[in-house]
Amino acid sequence: MGGRGSEGAGRGGRDGRRGETGVLIGELSRRTAVPAHLLRYYEAQGLLEPARSAGGYREYTDDAVLTVTQIRKLLEAGLSTQEIALMLPCATGAAPELEPCPELLEVLRARLHEVDERIDTLLHSRRALHDYIDATERQVPGEPAPGQPAPGQRQGRDSTAGTRRRASSDPADTRAEARPSSPTAAARPPTAEATPISTSGQTNSPAKNAAVHRPVPRPRSA
């Protein structure tokens, strides 16, 4: 019996009465970064058993700090407070390390089986949700298929590409050359060559000028 008691003292124990220095719940909360209401919950679950001072205050020993650290680590593994209560006597160190106490492996394996079942259930739910989403998206008008661009986005890209092709094959200068002349310019008759006008106001036509400059014949002598 004495050997078992000393062995339990090396593990930190659960009763919080081992050790020489007593701390109040506020100090224990500060040293473990665990709120005081959770420490009271651990006490209600039988994980912590503090002593009572003469004034009725909870008093914890330094070993309670190690016990709270072990509780937090085991909670992170998904174990319940009832399961942790069975394991704390087998726990050593802050990690903690677990000794093969009776029923310990059975409890751990049972918890692992429950976790595996929850994972399978979640994977099944995930696949079902994907199927519902895919089937619903196919019924939405204009809804693109997974991985395909929206219709507006595709049409916008096509129209932009067509505009660029037209701009490259039909430049502005080509359009200007191909533009037909106005109807007024096409129907206008060609104008006659302007006839030069002399300073005297008479028309200087070539025939009239020849008549003017023709020499006058001299009269014959008898």
Q: Which two tokens stand for residue 130?
A: 């994907």
Specify whether 16 is located in the same domain as 87. Answer: yes
Q: What is the pTM of this model?
A: 0.52
- Considering only CA atoms, give the Rg of the chain: 55
Give the residue-averaged pLDDT of 76-100: 93
Residue 108 falls within a domain, yes or no?
Answer: yes
Residue 216 falls within a domain, yes or no?
Answer: no
**Do the beta carbons of residue 84 and residue 42 sit within 8 Å?**
no
Please indicate whether residue 92 or residue 14 has the higher confidence score (pLDDT).
Answer: 92
Specify whether 92 is located in the same domain as 13. Answer: yes
Domain count, the chain: 2
> In this model, does residue 217 exceed pLDDT 80?
no
Residue 215 falls within a domain, yes or no?
Answer: no
**Where do the DSSP E strands lie in the chain?**
22-23, 51-52, 58-61, 91-92, 97-98
Position 155 scores a pLDDT of 54
Position 57 scores a pLDDT of 86
Position 140 scores a pLDDT of 86
Q: Which two tokens stand for residue 134?
A: 């895919």
Q: Is 158 helix (H, G, I), strand (E, B) or coil?
A: helix
Q: How confident is the model at residue 173 (pLDDT cuts 50, 70, 90)?
A: low
Chain centroid, CA 81 distance in Å? 38
> In this model, does residue 194 exceed pLDDT 70?
no
> In this model, does residue 87 exceed pLDDT 70?
yes
- 116: domain range? 102-144
Give the residue-averaged pLDDT of 172-184: 52
Of 78, 110, 144, the position where a domain reaches its end is 144
H or E stretch covering 37: helix 36-44
Distance between CA atoms of 6 and 18, rounded to whole angstroms?
A: 11
Specify whether 127 is located in the same domain as 81. Answer: no
> In this model, does residue 160 exceed pLDDT 90?
no
Tens digits of residue pLDDT in 21-41: 588 999 999 999 999 999 999
Residue 30 falls within a domain, yes or no?
Answer: yes
Distance between CA atoms of 8 and 3, rounded to whole angstroms?
A: 9
CA angle 33, 80, 65 (to 5 degrees): 30
Distance between CA atoms of 28 and 12, rounded to whole angstroms?
A: 15
SS (H, E, C) 58-90: EEEECHHHHHHHHHHHHHHCCCCHHHHHHHHHH
> In this model, does residue 65 exceed pLDDT 80?
yes
Distance between CA atoms of 92 and 87, rounded to whole angstroms?
A: 10
Lowest mean pLDDT among 54-58, 59-63, 195-199, 217-221: 195-199
Q: How confident is the model at residue 19 (pLDDT cuts 50, 70, 90)?
A: very low
Q: Is 111 helix (H, G, I), strand (E, B) or coil?
A: helix
Specify whether 74 is located in the same domain as 118. Answer: no
Position 128 scores a pLDDT of 97
Specify whether 140 is located in the same domain as 86. Answer: no
Residue 37 falls within a domain, yes or no?
Answer: yes
> In this model, does residue 211 exceed pLDDT 70?
no
CA angle 38, 41, 43 (to 5 degrees): 115
**Beta-bridge partners for 22:** 61
